[in-house]
Structure 1
Amino acid sequence: MGASTIGGILQSFVSSTSDVQGAALVSPDGLPLASSLPGTMDEERTSAMSAAMLSLGERIGKELARGSVEKILVEGADGYGILIGCGDDAVLLVLASQSAKQGLLMLDIKRAVGEIKAVLN
C-alpha cells in the first residue's frame, strides 16, 4: 500500500474540502494507516475508537436487520464524525464542522474514497 500516497490524498482532501477539519484511514482492527488530523488529536486513540465504533455499528445493523453498514455518522454540537468503508481493509474517518452541508460533504467523501480505493487495490 502506498501510505505516502494515501497520506497525500488525505492532506489534499482536508485542505481543499470546505468544512473538513481532519481525516484518517484506519484498519478494521484499529491501527492508523494514514492521517491528517488536527494536532490536538491522538492518532492511535482516534483510530482505535473508530474501529470500535465501526464494529459496534455493524453489530447494531445486523441486530436491527438493516444489512451491511454503509456509513456511521456521529453528530455533535461542534460537528460531525463520519466513518465510511474503503474496501475490506480500511475505514475512512472524516471530521467536519457543524456548518458542513451533508449532501456536498458526502459527495466529497465519496470522491476521496474512490481515490483511496484505487491506491489500495
Structure 2
Amino acid sequence: MRAEMLNSILSDLNGSTADIEASAVLSKDGLMMAALLPAAMDEDRVGAMSAAMLSLGDRTAQELARGTLEQVLIKGDHGYILMTHAGNEAVVTVLAKPNARLGLIFLDVKRAAESIAKIL
C-alpha cells in the first residue's frame, strides 16, 4: 500500500513537467522505496549514490556553517540531479533535462517531498 502511494506521488511529480526524466524515493541508507527510473538505470546504484551525496551534503552544510541542508544539486552536460530530504527517513532524487526550468522543479519536488514525508 505504502509503495503504491509513493509511486503515485512520483508519477504525479514526473507528470508535472516534461523536464523531469526520472525520480525515486530512497531510505536514508540508500534502499529504494519507490522509483520511476529508465530501465537501463541500476536502482541500487542510484540509491547508494544518492544516500552518499546527501550525507556528504549534510556534513558539508554543517561544517561550513550553512545551516540545515535543503537540497543537493548536481549539474552535468546531460542535465541535473536534484536530491532533497523527505522527512527524517527518506530522500527524493530527481533527474532533469539540461534546459529544465529549475524554479518550477524545486517547487514540485518540495511539494512531493512533503507528501512523501506525511506517508512515511
Does the TM-score normalized on the shorter chain lie above 0.5?
A: yes
Return the alpha-carbon distance in structure 1 between the equivalents of residues 66 and 57 of structure 2: 11
Aligned AA for 2:5? T
1:113 aligned residue: 113
* CA apart distance, 1:116: 1.6
Q: CA RMSD in A?
A: 1.3
2:98 aligned residue: 98
1:81 aligned residue: 81
Aligned AA for 1:76? G
Q: Mark the runs of 5 or more structure 2 residues left unpaired by the alignment.
A: none
Return the alpha-carbon distance in structure 2 between the equivalents of residues 64 and 115 of structure 1: 30
* CA apart distance, 1:61: 1.1
Return the alpha-carbon distance in structure 2 between the equivalents of residues 3 and 103 of structure 1: 28
TM-score (norm 2): 0.93
Return the alpha-carbon distance in structure 1 between the equivalents of residues 78 and 88 of structure 2: 30
* CA apart distance, 1:15: 3.0
Runs of 4+ aligned residues of structure 1 deviating over 6 Å after TM superposition are none
Percent identity (aligned): 47
TM-score (norm 1): 0.92
